[in-house]
């Protein structure tokens, strides 16, 4: 899993580079992705994606919907990377 860890570290570095002090709302999206990628269970990414999609289907407010889409983006990236490094 050394290659996967390297890919995760590179992704986190990339997201950190995208942070712009003049765009706090966009920055929050990058920060959420970093949190999700670092905290995610790489073996359970698919299950986490299904749970987030279920929550998204019942979400009502825009803040929750935006957060869930951001979390899904990070988890889907992670899932692709896990598959690449199997």
Question: 0.85 cut: is pTM over it?
Answer: yes
For the cut 80, the answer to whether the pLDDT of residue 82 exceeds it is: yes
Across residues 57-82, what is the average pLDDT?
96
Model confidence at 68: pLDDT above 70: yes
Query: What residues does each domain of the chain span?
Result: 2-84
Q: How far is CA 74 from the centre of its chain?
A: 2
- Please tell me the distance from the alpha carbon of residue 65 to that of residue 79, in angstroms, as a whole number: 21
Q: Quick one: pLDDT at residue 19?
A: 96
Q: pLDDT-based confidence at 1, cuts 50/70/90? A: low
User: Which of 27-41 are b and which e, b meaning 16 or more Cβ less than 10 Å from the residue's Cβ?
Assistant: eebbebbbebbeebe
Structure tokens at 34: 């970093």
């Amino acid at each position: 899993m050394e290659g996967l860890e390297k890919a995760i570290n590179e992704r986190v570095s990339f997201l950190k580079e995208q942070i712009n002090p003049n765009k706090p709302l966009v920055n929050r999206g990058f920060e959420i992705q970093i949190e999700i990628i670092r905290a995610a269970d790489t073996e359970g990414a698919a299950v986490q994606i299904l749970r987030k999609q279920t929550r998204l289907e019942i979400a009502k407010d825009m803040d929750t919907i935006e957060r869930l889409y951001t979390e899904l983006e990070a988890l889907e990236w992670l899932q692709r990377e896990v598959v690449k490094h199997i």
